[in-house]
Amino acid sequence: MKVLVVPTAERAATRAAGLVADCLNVGDRPVLGLATGSTMEPVYADLVARFRTGAISFSGATTFNLDEYVGLSPDHPQSYRRTMHRLLFDHVDIDVGACHLPQGDAPDPHVEAQRYDAAIAAAGGIDIQLLGIGRNGHIGFNEPTSSLGARTRIKTLTRSTRQANAAFFAKPEDVPRHAITMGIANILEARHCVLVATGAAKAGAVARMIEGPLGADCPATALQLHARATVIVDGHAAAGLELIDYYQEIHPDGEEPVLV
């Protein structure tokens, strides 16, 4: 796992956006795995800014978001589809027909989950997968005790996840109880995983993910099995890391090392 401890949340977003930009510029028909959540908002703002300068284009890109709430239609104001349009899709030259999210109001969510897996496979898999992390160690909506071998399916959200997401809804009871989410197996198949965590509230989950034992009680620990996982954290989110001096020695302020 490559651990980049950067000085600020802004730098974390810039660093993550830079990795996505590299993927867009190098790849022929890049496939991006996208996440939602507050941590990702500055990442998408940075990508939009890069697009406006002409540094990147999304014209050949395909995207797959990690998850969507069960029961919300694509045009529901709180759907992740609408969120992605507001933050990214509406501001760049992406082919909206190539932007995929699970359909939250599909007649049979289980069939929809299988369809989504097949669509990822048909696109040739994901080149770079953006990830946030929940305070309880979830990635996507793979809550604690999720099977580390599961693919896209329905998950019941924990009370803590619903509380964390309540701010986006008019009333706490409006937060859906279920989500269709890519599984840990999907995430581990992405060719590069980039997880971003900022703020003190994530320090415990970040320490457990990077330095704790592999276990379904913290699904993010599955990234320890990935051959190319990059974790970008600010100083607050890094506060619980025992080996922080080592990470800083290899990547001072999160920069790439100069090998001499």
Catalytic residues, by residue number, are 67, 136, 138, 143
Q: How far is the CB of 220 from ligand F6R (least distance, A)?
A: 9
Tokens coding 1:
């796992």
Tell me the residue number closest to ligand F6R, measured at CB: 132
Q: How far is the CB of 83 from ligand F6R (least distance, A)?
A: 9
User: Are the C-beta atoms of residues 149 and 112 closer than 8 Å to each other?
Assistant: no
Distances (CA, A) of 143 to 102, 218, 219: 18, 8, 7
Taking the least distance from each CB to ligand F6R, the nearer of 24 and 131 is 131
Which positions from 118 to 157 touch ligand F6R by CB under 6 A, shown as an x/- string? --------------xxx---xxx-----------------
- The DSSP string of 157-176 is PPHHHHHHHGGGSSSGGGS-
Chain centroid to Cα 217, Å, comes to: 19
- Considering only 46, 67, 117, 127, the residue that binds ligand F6R (CB under 6 A) is 67
Count of helices and strands (H, E) across the chain: 8, 10
What is the rounded CA–CA span in Å between residue 152 and residue 181? 5
- Considering only 14, 39, 62, 79, the residue that binds ligand F6R (CB under 6 A) is 39
66 binds ligand F6R (CB under 6 A): yes
Q: Which residues contact 18 (CB under 8 A, 6 or more apart)?
A: none
- Considering only 25, 38, 73, 114, the residue that binds ligand F6R (CB under 6 A) is 38
What is the rounded CA–CA span in Å between residue 67 and residue 100? 10
Q: Are strands 153-156 and 178-181 parallel, antiparallel or unpaired?
A: antiparallel
The region of 31-39, 69-77, 99-107, 116-124 touching ligand F6R under the rule CB under 6 A is 31-39
Backbone phi and psi for residue 210, each to the nearest 5 degrees, phi listed first: -85, -40
Which has the closest alpha carbon to 144: 130, 156, 132, 128? Answer: 156
219 binds ligand F6R (CB under 6 A): no
User: Are the C-beta atoms of residues 195 and 223 closer than 8 Å to each other?
Assistant: yes
Taking the least distance from each CB to ligand F6R, the nearer of 25 and 163 is 163
102 binds ligand F6R (CB under 6 A): no
Taking the least distance from each CB to ligand F6R, the nearer of 61 and 133 is 133
Q: How far is the CB of 19 from ligand F6R (least distance, A)?
A: 16
30 binds ligand F6R (CB under 6 A): no
Q: How far is the CB of 103 from ligand F6R (least distance, A)?
A: 15
36 binds ligand F6R (CB under 6 A): yes
Which residues contact ligand F6R by CB under 6 A?
Answer: 35-39, 66-67, 132-134, 138-140
